[in-house]
Amino acid sequence: MSEQDGPAEQVLKRCLSDYLRCVPAVELAYLVKVSHERPSEHQVALCLVGGMKDALQILQSVGTIFHELFRSTENLDILFLTDEQRIEVSAIANPFYKADDSRGCQPN
């Protein structure tokens, strides 16, 4: 697992941050590279802390944002982290989004 932070990912992070400001239940968001069954194959994952009560809406909205930016053949895993997973992810990546009450929600 490692942080995903190239030029294309920076654009994605900005768009996702704009959206997440309108989702008060999400506290933190990370974009990391993960491997599932085969260590040689990596997938990008959006890892969220909080937001479970709005999970379906978040999944749909993030999917729309992602597919507006990337080819339809690209995929983004979305994970709602447990406390243990959050600790593991925070050891290798910085959150690109942190909830901040002083920021206003400005939907696109």
Q: Nearest to residue 86, comparing CAs of 34, 29, 18, 37?
A: 29
**For the residues 34-40, what does the mean pLDDT come to?**
66
Asked whether residue 104 is domain-assigned, the answer is no
Asked whether residue 74 is domain-assigned, the answer is yes
Q: Residue 16 sits in a domain of what CATH number? A: 3.30.300
Asked whether residue 37 is domain-assigned, the answer is yes
**For the residues 36-61, what does the mean pLDDT come to?**
84
Number of domains in the chain: 1
More confident residue, 35 or 7: 7
pTM of the model: 0.85
Percent of the chain with pLDDT over 90: 59
Looking at residue 4, what is its pLDDT? 62
What is the C-alpha to C-alpha distance for residues 37 and 77, in angstroms, rounded to an integer?
14
Asked whether residue 48 is domain-assigned, the answer is yes
Compute, in degrees rounded to 10, the torsion defined by CA atoms 59, 65, 67, 71. -130
DSSP β-bridge partners for residue 33: 2, 44
Range(s) of the domain holding residue 23: 2-98
Residue type, 38: R
